[in-house]
Amino acid sequence: MTDDSDPPDPSGDDDYSDADPRVPDESAWPNRDLGFLGDDVYLGEEARVPAGFTAQPVPAAATSGAAELRELERRVAQNGTPVFPIDLRRRLPLAAVWRRWRALAMWGRSDVVDDFGRDPRATARWEWLFEFLYSRWFRVHAEGLDHIPDKGRALLVANHAGSLPYDSAMVMHAVRRDHPARRDVRPLVEDTVFHLPFLGPIMNRIGGVRADPENAERLLMNDELVAVFPEGEKGMGKLWKDRYRLQRFGRGGFVKLALRTGAPIIPVAVVGAEEAAPMLGKVTWFAKNIGIPWVPVTPTFPWLGPAGLLPLPSKWLVAFGAPIDLGTAHGAAAAEDRLLVNKLADQIRMRIQSMIDELLGRRRSPILSAFLG
């Protein structure tokens, strides 16, 4: 913009001596300060030769070559079929508008995501919400974080409750916040949640991965920390009367995974999620039509509308147990032994159940224990 006031090149010998009809002459172009348009406004002044450019003498042969090249480039540009008339494009700051729009559209997202779709900038954007839920709303008390290795693979196996996966978010946040290595946990998310509109992509951007044995194995092979909830949908669909009673652990896929990859299993007990969204009943007859397995009935939902999906402020306790190394005890080949896999899965289920029972015994009141101490 500033070289608008530069004097025209005195030599008259430059490549632009042939009048370009598309470049407005000085009289049509008032010589005023256009700085207010911003730096990236495209006014077509690239056809002007900068002051210092022709100062050095250029060998004649080279000049003609460059001129020829530039003329060719100009013709190529002219013969391209711009959808927008080229003259208009020179006068309107369209490129700048478009660039502004691009910058706006990239807000809150980064142009690099990892192989599984975790976006660091989007993660940072939701951090405040998790921090609020973690320290103010659920007042989470996490213990045994030192059982999680500083580096290398590990498989966190946790119980599951609540109609929305707050528990996986809290396990993730506990490790990122309070573990000395601030590791990122990659929770495996059931299909029903992963394909929910809005929630699924958000979970994916902040680190969630669709629960699939191939995905889990790939993550563990990359030495990541993976959290699984083997109860899956059954755990989320537990009624209030069944609270803190672990459901069946699927087909023991997580045991096979641990055996095959040699990752230690870290049992995790989460207490508090059941009270955050106590499910009194569930309606299934029309839920399938709108793509979800059931519609939960809680003390607040559907009575309060969407606000009823907010969790109740229960007191949470999260305990990470000592790692169980199945890989060295049984070897990778044991993954094919179905009886053994099922037995090991049940042992781990009992372990988590006893951890839950222990935590429940210690907690005084589901809602008020923060205030009671």
Partner 1 sequence: MLRSTTGRVVAVTGASTFLGGALLRRLEEDPTCARVLALDVRPPALAPGAKTQFVKIDLTQPTIDGELATLLDRHRIDTFVHGAFLSHPTHASEWAHELEDVGTMHVLNACAGVEPRRFVMISTTLVYGAHPKNPNFLTEDAELRGHRDSRFVNDKVRAERQVQRFAKEHPGVEVAILRFAPILGPTVSNMYTRFLSRPIAPVLLGHDPLMQFVHEQDAAFALQQAVDSHATGAFNIIGKGVLPYTTVLAMLGRVPLPMPKFVARSLTKVLWATQLVGSPPSFLDFLQYLCVAEGTRARRELGFTPQFSIQRTVLDFLGIAPEDGATDVSRAHA
* Residues at the site binding partner 1, with contacts judged by CB under 8 A: 40, 77, 80, 82-84, 89, 94-95, 98-99, 101-102, 105-106, 109, 111-113, 115-117, 119, 191, 195-201, 204-205, 209-210, 212, 214-215, 218
Name the minimum Å distance from CB 187 to partner 1: 14
Q: Given the complex with partner 1, which of 20 and 40 has the nearer CB atom?
A: 40
Rounded to the nearest whole angstrom, what is the least distance from the CB of residue 248 to partner 1 in the complex? 22
CB atoms within 10 A of CB 172: 25
Residue 44: CB minimum distance to partner 1, A: 12
Residues contacting residue 325 through CB under 8 Å, at least 6 positions apart: 264, 265
Q: What is the distance between the alpha carbons of residues 365 and 90, in angstroms, rounded to a whole number?
A: 70
Whole-angstrom Cα distance, residue 359 to residue 318? 8
Q: What is the nearest approach in angstroms of partner 1 to the Cβ of residue 237?
A: 19
State the distance between the two ends of the chain, measured CA to CA, in whole angstroms: 67
Q: Please say whether the dihedral angle defined by the alpha carbons of residues 326, 331, 332 and 333, taken in this order, is positive or negative.
A: negative
Q: Which is nearer to partner 1, 98 or 303 (CB)?
A: 98
Contacts of 96 (CB under 8 A, 6+ apart): 37, 38, 40, 41, 42
Between 1 and 113, CB nearer to partner 1: 113
Work out how close the CB of 63 gets to partner 1 at its nearest, in angstroms, rounded to a whole number.
23
Specify the residue, 107 or 128, whose C-beta has the smaller distance to partner 1.
107
Q: Tell me 172's DSSP state.
A: H
DSSP state of 150: S
Closest distance of CB 116 from partner 1, Å: 6
* 113 or 332: CB nearest partner 1: 113
Q: Pick the closer one to partner 1 by CB: 89 or 177.
A: 89
Q: List, in sequence order, the alpha helices (H) in the chain.
A: 60-79, 86-91, 94-105, 120-131, 166-178, 191-194, 199-205, 213-221, 233-236, 253-261, 273-276, 326-330, 338-362, 369-372
Closer residue to partner 1 (CB): 205 or 315 = 205
Distance separating alpha carbons of residues 235 and 90, to the nearest angstrom: 62
